[in-house]
Structure 1
Amino acid sequence: MTAATATAATPGTGAGTGAPGLRRRLTAWRPSPYLLVATAFFVFMNVLAWRNNIISDFGQHASAIERIKANPLHPANPLVDLSGDNSPYYSPLIVFLGLLAKATGLPGWVVLKAWGPVNLLVLLTGVAAFSRTLSANRWVPVLALAGMMLLWGIHPAAWSGFLNIGSLTRTLTFPSTFAISLTLHMWALTARAARARASLLRHAFIGACMGMILLIHPITSVGAAAGIAAIVAGWQRGWNRRAAARWALTVAVGVTIAVVWPYYDVFGLIGDTTVDIFHKGLYGRRVITWYGLSVVGVPALVMRWRRHRLDPLVLLYVMDIAIATYGWFSGHYTYGRIFGLLLMPPQFALAVELTRPRPWTRLRKTMAGAAAAAGCIGLAVQVGAVWEIPWSPVPLQHLVTWPSYRWAADRIPVGDVVLTDGWHATHVLPAYGIFLVSGPWPDPSLSVDVRNRRGHDVHVYFSPTATPSVQRLITQRYHARWALLQPGERIPADAHVVATHRATGETLVRLTP
């Protein structure tokens, strides 16, 4: 045996084996730009989201978790003390979180808060996965994430399913955020399946993802399905009977999962107009003030269209615009929530075009300058949304944090019914497992008559002309044991004051049975 051979055979001395080889590999490894940016963003957003008080739809989702925790098979309605049969809030995600709350004994609102980092992790990995299907450049996901967070409008667009910094401080834990994040992963899987012959198992898995998104957030599923159609139309190789059968399997699996889900009938929501009026505000002037900065990515879409007439990002953008337009002209304004996905094609297209190799034409230089200017404006808007900046040279809209209601929730047992007509209170108190007489959002599982009667009774109860006998009748009708009074509302005759909040002026009273 030669000396060279003996050296190579000695354990731990090879170029790629043993401790020295491992050290060399670790030394040679460098984190990607996106890993560094995404890690910093992960910490930053979780800190911002955790410090926020309960706000908006959080209470309704946390309440649904609490109902599953109390009765997994037959949960009550998330907001009122009635059956929750066929309530669309009982999606697979909420049921999973409810079972997690039951197993751990944690309150529903704590479980939902703790789910925020998971949502963000799925989102950040989804951005990376989908970016890799568009370009191998390691800077694309960095610019795509920046575009998603900043290229919105000159006013902060805070709504469920809108992924920007200001909105995510409020909606990071929401099912809509998980649904959109899962959509990015599903699009990445679809792209790989379209470009290369994929197994039946992968097609079935894509269908399972589609079914889950449909159940978790139905309006997001419309945009997610449009993305699948755009990717398959633009990138599918070798269209034949076998390829068609594989995509038919994808659709069949997704539909089957949605059909067999026992908690509610998702297809029964088709044509439902219950919440349309609440989404009208997504249109009008807000098309410019909430989404206008995203137009800097449209030239990038045009460039992609000139290279490939069936480019998936272009097709998806056109289809999303068609969906949003249908929502406006049909009066089904709920389709306006597609704007959260509609902005993604120009955001991702811009990220790809700005990282393409030379030559840098005048058009690309202009596009880069416009993108930089829009990004700076978007950054100022998002920073102003999160922090009040009194010294700002231009007025910035700040997203006001809601008051905490722990002072009341700590005194009201889980499952008790409270009478209140306060805007913040009706959104927040359900997070702690407290029932309302009338909820702030109409649940499609409750009939119009039931919702109207309950809303009318709450209005009558707090009317200045309501007599003690009428108030007592309403209290007994709904088994209410508590009332949360707004400033100026008189204390009922059969009530005992428990606490008053100095900041809001609200008063919690216990009602005599």
Structure 2
Amino acid sequence: MQQTVDTQLSPTRDEQPPRQRWLGRVDPYLVLAAGLVVWSVAVAVQHTWTTDFLLHVGTVRALSRDLLTPPDPMTGAGSSSPYYSPLIWLLAATVRGTGAAPTAVFGVLAVLNTVLLVWSFRRFCRWFVTSAGGAAVALLATLFLWGIRPPVWSGFLSLRSLAEVVAYPSTTAFGLMLLALDRLLHHRRHRDLTSLVTFGLLGATITLIHSFTAVNTAVGALAVLLCAGPRWRAADLLRVALVAAGAFLLVAAWPFTTVGELLTGAPEFVEIHRQLRDGMLDPIQLSCAYGLLGLVPLALRLRDQRRDPLVLIFAVAVVALAVGFAGQYHLLRVMPLAMLSLHVAFGAFVAGAVGRFGDEQSVPVIRPAARRALAALAAVVFLAGLAVDVTPLNGFLGAVPVRALPPAAQAQASTPSLSGPSHRYDQISRYVPEGATILTDQRTSDRHLNWLGYFTVNPGWPDPWIGDEKARAADRRRLRTATATPAERGAVAARWDADCVLITATKAVTGPDAVAGYRQVRADRSMTLYCR
């Protein structure tokens, strides 16, 4: 009978590599990781981030002005917000203590996030991959093996997505998730309390930093608890329950948000995530189709061990994704965990099948000819995917100055996601001090003003925790109505205690007396600004 090597709950042999393995040859994972860190430095220097980056910078600015009792970072209402995570507080304290610009602090965070990712990814892979080469293949798959148009969302680790989200707190949370799962896998095998407590501390931190990554962590944790390993005893389960309760209490003790806010805010984001479903199913985008190549290695792992951790992670994630496709679209944010299992299985299989990156312990036992044929097919599809999918190359474009690119690439880089935030609003600082509240006529203005350190009557991003988001939106519609009188517009602005009113896209609001109680301080083709 053929024998298989049980590596399901045992780190592969390079967990504690002999010195000669490091000194005797080049470590391919180390080379790839170093290249990715250099890339992150180039991206950080470019500072072309926009979209949600504006929110994170604005949140740090708001918190740095008041580290103890900060108001909502977008509207200035209330006295707390789930956006104030421990990581954001640390960044705000750095800005407050050093005087550094928030954008510079996030640039440093981008590089640190990359270091955390490549380190934690290797630690996670060691449970399934027998060589550094296999981990390198898995990392390459994670960066490139997604789809024709990979999702550009926080928590999604394609190179195209990382070019925008590498400085985001969600990227920090993903790296911590990999470390948490590594510790839980260690506990599953050795039953050591230190690893379990570390997992609990990391889980609480992840929950406060990025709730969607916390869902991924919970899905992965459930899979690890169900995977093959020593039989669970009542005392073991009690320790797990106590650590989970301790993590819950740590989350509840965080002063800037409540557990209820973290959990009840999610339904407000359901419709926003519909576009994730559309991208996955759209035949023009097929945003995650290439990753399905990892199903073959996963199927082989399932054949050899029904409770293989990677297989179970994928299976539990698929259950959550099924609920997401059924209408709870925010659960589609579990896709990165499903893709992680596919990518790691792909890397372990290809490296072991080719047999050039180490021994073949991570490959299920099949005939050598069939194994190499499957590996060759996988490599061909992988390279074909890279050739067809030019979109991830935008990740490289984000690391290179636009003026240094050839003309065709310059045109590709001239997109809102790669050209950085607009500076048309910078001139407002000449008339309005940072921290003032401004009523605008469109969300784009809200986002850029939040980025610059202003509060806006309408939040630039979904903010269900303020409680009156619909009333604020209704008043903005009233402001833009052509039939509204100057007195009505002034009353709207005064109702929210707005210091200024900014008009950039509403032709009906024009002239020095368009907003009663507010005087026109600036008027040009791009904007009209009224202040008290």
Does the pair score TM above 0.5?
yes
How many corresponding residue pairs?
A: 477
Change (3 A) 1:191 1:26: closer
2:35 is aligned, of 31, 40, 52, to 40
Structure with more contact order per residue of length (Cα contacts < 8 Å, sep ≥ 6): 2
Q: In structure 1, how many angstroms separate the alpha carbons of the residues matched to 2:214 and 2:147?
A: 24
Distance of aligned partners of 1:48 and 1:231 in 2 relative to their CA distance in 1, 3 Å threshold: same
In the TM superposition, what whole-angstrom CA distance separates every residue of 1:83-128 from its partner, at most 9, and x where no partner exists? Answer: 133x211222112222222222334444334321121111111111
Q: CA deviation at 1:30?
A: 5.1
**2:520 matched residue in structure 1:** 496
Cα deviation code 1:123-157 (max 9, x no counterpart):
11111111112123011221121111111111131
Pairing 1:338-357 to 2, within 5 Å after superposition: 338-356=334-352, 357=355
Q: What secondary structure does 1:139 align onto? A: helix
Q: Is it true that 1:112 corresponds to 2:112 in the alignment? A: no
2:504 and 2:63 map into 1 onto residues whose CA distance is 31
1:27 and 1:446, CA in 2 relative to 1: closer, same or farther beyond 3 A? closer
User: 2:150 matched to which residue of 1?
Assistant: 156
Tell me how far apart the structure 1 counterparts of residues 179 and 531 of structure 2 sit (CA, whole Å): 54
Paired residue for 2:483?
A: 465
1:304 touches 1:311 (CA, 8 Å); kept in 2? Answer: yes
Amino acid at match of 1:313: L
Mapped pair 1:182 → 2:201: no
Given that residues 42 and 121 in structure 1 are in contact (C-alpha distance below 8 angstroms), is that contact kept between their aligned partners in structure 2?
A: yes
Q: Which has the larger radius of gyration?
A: 1
Aligned to 1:51: 46
**For residue 252 of structure 2, what is the aligned residue in structure 1?**
259
For structure 2, the residue ranges without an aligned partner over 5 or more in a row are 1-18, 361-367, 398-404
Out of 135, 140, 153, the position equivalent to 1:141 is 135
Q: 1:360 to 1:433 in 2, by over 3 A?
A: farther
Contact 1:150 1:382 in 2 (8 A): yes
In 2, Cα distance between equivalents of 1:390 and 1:300: 41
Find the aligned partners of 1:71 and 1:461 in 2 and give their Cα distance: 31
Kindly indicate whether the alpha-carbon contact (under 8 Å) linking 1:384 and 1:397 is maintained by their aligned counterparts in 2: no
Cα distance in 2, alignment partners of residues 346 and 28 from structure 1: 31
Distance 2:98 2:253 in 1: 28
Q: Map of 1:451-490 to 2, 5 A cutoff?
A: 451-487=469-505, 489=507, 490=509
TM-score normalised by the chain length of structure 1: 0.85
Q: Distance in 1 between matches of 2:378 and 2:182?
A: 26
SS at match of 1:284: helix
Other-structure match for 1:81: 76
Mapped partners of 1:236, 1:255: distance in 2: 26
C-alpha displacement at 1:441, in angstroms?
2.2
1:284 to 278, 296, 311: 278
What letter matches 2:292 in structure 1? V
Residue 402 of structure 1 and its aligned partner are, at CA, apart by 4.8
Q: Tell me if structure 1 keeps the 8 A contact 2:49–2:418.
A: no
Which segment drifts farther, 41-50 or 273-282? 41-50
Structure 1 residues 112 and 508: alpha-carbon distance in aligned structure 2, compared to 1, 3 A threshold: farther
Contact 1:497 1:507 in 2 (8 A): no
- CA root-mean-square deviation: 2.8
Give the secondary-structure state (helix, strand or coil) at the position aligned to 2:502.
strand
2:461 counterpart of 1:441: yes
Residues 152 and 290, structure 1, Cα contact 8 Å, conserved in 2: yes
Q: 1:325 to 1:410 in 2, by over 3 A?
A: same
- Counterpart selection for 1:364 from 358, 371, 375: 375
**1:268 shift after superposition:** 4.3
User: Which letter maps to 2:312?
Assistant: L
What stretches of structure 1 of length at least 5 have no aligned partner? 1-23
The DSSP-based 3-state class of the residue aligned with 2:499 is strand
1:314-325 map, 5 Å: 314-325=311-322
1:159–1:167: 8 Å Cα contact kept in structure 2? yes
Mapping for residues 1-400 of structure 1, pairs under 5 Å: 28=23, 31-85=26-80, 87-198=81-192, 200-272=193-265, 273-287=267-281, 289-329=286-326, 331-356=327-352, 357=355, 359-361=368-370, 362-378=373-389, 380-384=390-394, 387=397, 399=417
Q: Is the 8 A contact 1:327 1:334 kept in 2?
A: yes
